[in-house]
Amino acid sequence: MGFLKIPGLGKVHFHEYGSGNKPVLAFHGYGMTGKQFHVLKDSILTQYRVYGFDHFFHGESQLDSWTEKQILSGMPRAMVKAYLDEWFNIYGKQRVSLMAYSIGANLALILLEEYPELIDEIILMAPDGLSVYKGFHFLLHKPVGKYFFKRVTKSKWLAPALLKNLKKVGFIDNSLYNIAYNEIDTEKKRLDVYYTLNLIRLLKPDSDKVAKLINQHKIKCTLIFGRDDQLFPKQAAVFFIAQLDNADVHEVPLGHWLVVPALDEYLSLTPGHFQRREGLKER
């Protein structure tokens, strides 16, 4: 483990694990840390050395004296580029791969835009950033939505009541309800949600440009979706997928909570470059 010291931003903490020798920079989903991918021990971790970064308001990453006004204004895209610049300062400039889950995909896709000539592979799981998610866009960019988001964050009862009603009308399923409820049941957790989503509000990759760069630089692209995911389903990414020359696309019998031992088992037993050697022999 270690820290990237990014001028004007702060200290980005990262975890280092995996028995492989190919470096992959990894970005986790909301409510987790850079250790999230450790469950993929029989598939991805046998081939890669993972450098998993903690998002701010998660794990041990710390903003450098940012005010609330700065946080709500959002983190500039140029600061994402600095993640890889600073990692190169420690480990030397070299080819790397990228891996991300959910909201973490926004950072990975921006790094691909900035350094396409140095990216071997990108692995995205239930990714945000391939299309506009209208719910987040409303809360983070529309005046009414921003006001509503702030009110919900400050209220002890409004957020739980809203979630219950969203579940009641079928807008979210029981899995998403449980995930969301566990992240808003205290004032600190609600503030962490509010600050996290506002901090990354400007980090929106250009999906058309990303697709062109993947094709141009022949970057290996693996996309994994949960069949029952109501947040970032495969259907939301079909236009992006159609632009790719040779993507490896999987839809697994899981929901949005995707980075779990069941995914590791699926990847390790499914023919492809994540399949473990024992599985190849068995088949």
pTM of the model as a whole: 0.87
pLDDT tens per residue across span 225-257: 999 988 899 999 999 999 999 999 999 999 888
- The 8-class DSSP code of residue 84 comes to H
- Would the pLDDT of 3 be above 60? yes
Q: What angle do CA 180, 183, 188 make, to 5 degrees?
A: 150
- By percentage, how much of the chain surpasses pLDDT 70? 85
| Residue indicated by tokens 């980005």 | 12
User: Tell me, what's the pLDDT at 280?
Assistant: 41
**Span 28-36, average pLDDT:** 91
- Would the pLDDT of 26 be above 90? yes
Instruction: Determine the Cα–Cα distance for residues 93 and 224; give it in Å rounded to an integer.
Output: 28
User: Tell me, what's the pLDDT at 276?
Assistant: 72
Do the beta carbons of residue 214 and residue 115 sit within 8 Å? no
Q: Which residue has the higher pLDDT, 158 or 251?
A: 251
**Span 58-66, average pLDDT:** 93
Q: Which residue has the higher pLDDT, 152 or 224?
A: 224
Domains of the chain: 2-132+205-282 (3.40.50.1820)
Structure tokens at 228: 């029952």
Residue 31: partners with Cβ closer than 8 Å, 6 or more residues away: 58, 179, 182, 183
In whole angstroms, how far apart are CA 279 and each of 30, 41, 43, 142, 255? 32, 14, 11, 50, 25
pLDDT tens per residue across span 175-216: 666 666 666 667 788 888 889 989 999 999 999 999 999 999
Kindly indicate the confidence band of residue 148, based on its pLDDT and cuts at 50, 70 and 90: confident
